[in-house]
Amino acid sequence: MSTNGKVAAAFEELAVLSEILGENAFKVNALRRSARTIEALTSNVCELEKSALLAMDGVGASTVAKIQEFATSGTMEELTGLRARVPAGLTQLLQIQGLGPKTVRAMWTDLAIEDLAGLKTAIDTGAIARLPRMGPKSVENLKEGIAFLEQSRGRIRIGEALPIAEALVRDLGLLACVQRIAYGGSLRRGRETIGDIDILAASTDAPALMEKFRGREDVAKVLATGETKTSVLTKHGVQIDLRVVPLDRFGSAWLYFTGSTDHNIRLRERAIAQGMRLNEYGLFHAAEDGTVAEGALPVASVEESDIHAALGLQWIPPTMREDRGEFDAFAIGSVLPRIVVMEDIRAELHCHTNASDGKMTIDEIVATAQSRGFHTIAITDHSKGQAQANGLDEARVITHIAAIHAARARFPAMQIWAGSEVDILSDGTLDYDDELLAKLDWVVASPHAALKQESALANARMLRAIAHPLVHVIGHPTGRVVNGRPGLELAMDALFGAAKKHNTALEINAQHLRLDLRDADVRGAATVGCMIAIDCDVHATSDFDELRYGVLTAQRGWLPASQCLNAMDPKTLNAWRMQKRCGVG
Ligand code: DGT
Ligand code: CA
Ligand code: CA
Ligand code: ZN
């Protein structure tokens, strides 16, 4: 984009965010007019003299100041500030045809809708009708607008794709003609975004299965269909490929269509080196010249593990099939890393009650954690800097600590810690002083604002927080949003070294919108020996279900259970909490 285009886009974004925040119409219009004027310029706006800028239509002193700021720094502080105040998913709603900022604002303030998923839920539950001027016709228009927007989307987040695939596998699996069905592809490998959903089935009646698949209610368009493969586009704009394979070849087909392509290539090379051939129909003995006899029966094909075994490998979990060292690690005879699994997770160490921006009371959140089989919960409401999230000031923290500790009597089986998710301010200092932090049982420190700050500053900021003796965990360390915003540009290796040195844990925020740390960073941190917390950042009951996305990310990062705080038994976890603060007091 041209410089003028960028500056204009920045003003347009300022206008949009201001509008969502309910700023007055004059200011919003002035920002829009500036955007249009700058866009239409034929010279570089950043190289113009102040007098020339002021002579332009709709450009006043504050606009000039913003342009000059952009010219020197490439950003606008006001924009950074506004972005931090408005949920990243909210502006996307403005791309829905016929949906204006006033309605989006009402959706946010009245119904707590923060993104497309939230809007869809509100439509599904009927809550949307509580908005003014939202009759049945408007809702229909809204639905059409959403479907259209989503058709044009690229990769979707795993948290959207997985429920779709699960419903499909469950429904089609109920058909009498379906012998076996499963999803593969990047979804099975647990990637944070999914290009399309790949489903594999064995069936006694492929045409009937394909017909059922094409006729599903959520299918918007059939892209291609035949005896062995059908591709459709759902109303939510997701492509789904369904392939039908013979039951006795399911394992080899599943292996092939799970990928990754790089992993498959290495697997085929391995087969060739052992005088065999591997494809989606099975693993075959090859002749001297490498050919497979016509009609030859496979050496292995029914289960993936049969094929792995025939190639001298233990079964490799899909999350680790990326050609990143798995062939050595899983060679028969080598000692397997004990990678963390769902069942290991018995603690939630980052959650919010209705004291800040959560939905549940202390007792509700503790009871939910207990019902999930957890033994420990740390309640970490927001600190005072998060005003829009009703962050707690010092006096409220003191009261809250007492209320959390009082819950211990009602849940004797649970280890309950009074904590905080304290803001890491832009200079790396924390939003509470040490005296207050020392009163808390558990401290998660997270970056929320200034997520576009310059890289050197961002590094110094995070290193300072990591070195703070009263901090247990760094929450969502980069502040990124998947498909949303890049977050802090950090020198991750330096962070991992510091986290290891200061024995500060790093979080995998399990929310599928965040997945922060991301998989590659988990691998880096785990290799250095850092401790990792996998937390759901619970605001509502359903957030506990985000855990699997965090665990998949951990597995993709080869996180050993021994380096995961949430996998510790209660005593060990408490001992870790105490020793973290050794020498402080
Ligand atoms: P996606 O959909 O972009 O998120 O990523 P995948 O990994 O699901 O890729 P997709 O849907 O194109 O194909 C599914 C799997 O099928 C892929 O992981 C590996 C396998 N596959 C597809 N095309 C090829 C190919 O040309 N060579 C090999 N070896 N495998 C392939
Ligand atoms: Ca795929
Ligand atoms: Ca595909
Ligand atoms: Zn949080």
The H-assigned helical ranges of 152-234 are: 158-173, 185-188, 206-214
Q: Please, are residues 179 and 203 in contact by the beta-carbon 8 Å criterion?
A: yes
Residue 485 to residue 92: CA distance in whole angstroms? 12
Summarize pLDDT for 406-433 with one digit per residue, the tens.
999 999 999 999 999 999 999 999 999 9
Q: Please, are residues 568 and 579 in contact by the beta-carbon 8 Å criterion?
A: no
99 pLDDT band (50/70/90 cuts)? Answer: confident
Q: What is the mean pLDDT of residues 198-216?
A: 97
Atom index in ligand 1 nearest the CA of residue 155 equals 4
- Average pLDDT, rounded, for the chain: 93
Kindly identify the ligand whose nearest atom is closest to the C-alpha of 165.
2
Atom index in ligand 1 nearest the CA of residue 187 equals 8
Residue 100 CA neighbour count, 13 Å, CB half? 6
Q: What is the mean pLDDT of residues 221-247?
A: 91
Q: Whose CA is nearest to atom 26 of ligand 1?
A: 261
**What is this structure's pTM?**
0.76
- Strand, helix or coil at 32? helix
2 pLDDT band (50/70/90 cuts)? Answer: low
| More confident call, 478 vs 57 | 478
For residue 379, list its beta bridge partners.
Answer: 351, 418
Q: Whose CA is nearest to atom 25 of ligand 1?
A: 261
Residue 581 to residue 38: CA distance in whole angstroms? 54
Residue 557 to residue 498: CA distance in whole angstroms? 19
What is the whole-number distance in angstroms between the Cα of residue 168 and the centre of ligand 2?
15
Domains of the chain, CATH where assigned: 3-151 (1.10.150.110), 156-244 (3.30.460.10), 252-329 (3.30.210.10), 342-581 (3.20.20.140)
Residue 91 to residue 101: CA distance in whole angstroms? 9
Summarize pLDDT for 289-343 with one digit per residue, the tens.
889 998 999 999 999 999 999 999 999 999 999 998 999 999 999 998 899 999 9
Q: Hey, how many other C-beta atoms are within 10 angstroms of the C-beta on 57?
A: 9
What is the whole-number distance in angstroms between the Cα of residue 373 and the centre of ligand 3?
36
pLDDT at 366 over 60: yes
Atom index in ligand 1 nearest the CA of residue 196 equals 2
- Written as one letter, the residue type at 494 is A
What is the whole-number distance in angstroms between the Cα of residue 171 and the centre of ligand 2?
20
**pLDDT computed for residue 153 by the predictor:** 60
**pLDDT computed for residue 37 by the predictor:** 81
Summarize pLDDT for 238-256 with one digit per residue, the tens.
899 999 999 999 999 999 9
**pLDDT computed for residue 66 by the predictor:** 93
**pLDDT computed for residue 58 by the predictor:** 74
For residue 156, list its beta bridge partners.
Answer: 194
What is the whole-number distance in angstroms between the Cα of residue 117 and the centre of ligand 3?
24
